Structure 1
Amino acid sequence: MHVQTLMMEGAPAVQLQGPTGDTVTVLLRGAQVISWVDATGVERLYRSPLSPLDGPQPVRGGVPVIFPQFSGRGPMVRHGFARTSLWEWLPADAAGAEPQLVFRMQHAAHETPLWPHDCACTLTVALVPAGLRMTLAVHNTGNSPLSFHAALHTYLEVGDVARSTLTGVLPQGEVLSLAEPIDHLFESVPGPFALRSPATALDLVHEGFTDAVVWNPGPQAVIADLPAGGYARFLCVEAASVGVPVQLAPGAHWQGSQCLFIAT
């Protein structure tokens, strides 16, 4: 295992290398996983080449942390503040039995008038055998209950989304075709999910999260930080708790994880 700090296009980041040569790279801004390269050297996540890593806009690609608001479902900035906040890397936690990186964000009630709550969030990113596990934990450090949405907005490299399929989100094992644009919240889906595409074969498992969001904008969408034809290379399959917001009493904890496993 090897850990190093580095600058990626002007943005501070931490990179972890596992015992088999696989690597994961995480920005301090947003604790955003920006790269996951497997032991064979294949990049498994998509990142738009038109999206700067050093801000001020959120980075399009990798795994943005969505908290405490999903999309426009509330009064705050779209997708909340976690993905643009500066997180702290906790280096001591990288030395455990399982190769992992841990990041922390502390939020005070006065920082966001539209969401006046004290809380602490941690994101743990672990390289597991033939896979990547990301765990988001939230601790209500205040004196009043709080409510939030959370999601790991995972951009997966698929090569050609129109030739990709996803199973596990529809009942009775029905296959979800991805030949058309999609932006859908699948509520109360336990998984696991199986993604098969020209570029990848992944099995996705989540715990703690209740829902899944599947998104691809399709060819007609005009997105400033996405190159022409870029839509075809990725599919977002995100573990989420959105349909029913998470409720946390003072002092209570919540956590949800998403595991990406390379299918054999």
Structure 2
Amino acid sequence: MVTTQDTASRDDVRSGIVAAATQLLRAKGANAVTTRAVAQAAGVQAPTIYRLFGDKDGLIDAVAEHVMATYVSGKSVAADVAAGDPVADLRAGWRTHVDFGLANPELYALIATRGSGAPSPATVAGLDVLRRRVRRLAAAGLLRVDEQRALLMIHSAGNGTILTLLGVPPEQRDPGLSEAMLDAVLTSILATTPATPDTATNAVAVTFATVLPDLPGLTDAERALMAEWLHRSLTRPQDR
């Protein structure tokens, strides 16, 4: 029988191991996070790590979750209380994300190259924060592409920018690259910088999509059909 005290003790040991591994990762890089080194730093036996995390990869994932979850929690609070200009809010979120990646190079590279499996819960939570920022742009009538495409463009550009900068020695990095990349993405997705004659139509369609779930007098099936029409109109302009 497992008691509450046993569970608390297990959680404390697990937290101590994650903290020790995080410190090693930040100080010496991913290669320094060996089972032996982490066990020594945490004051536990190596079998304890295997019992709690399965293997070294499981431990690294736990470290990534810990650091990213702390970061995402801070981002979520900022996103929830954001008010005013949604573009300025997005810029602030972009800068925070880039700063985090550059400040945690080993961990960020580890997360970004996680592989083809399911993304970590912390990564999913981070995307949810970005999704809310994109929704504010759409609700304000500022998007000329659908929300999902805007989300993926911003997310992809952000990750690419961080990994590119991390691949260059700090003293050789282009200090203006991050802002230039964001400006390029915003030029492509914002209705305030039209690139096609029907930008105004797109902006109206995207904005309408944000209120579609709340329209009265429609069934769920009718809302789904209308959402499909809007998505098709926005993503297949050549068919119009």
TM-score range, shorter chain: under 0.3
- Largest Rg, 1 or 2: 2
Higher helix share: 2
| TM-score, normalisation: structure 1 | 0.21
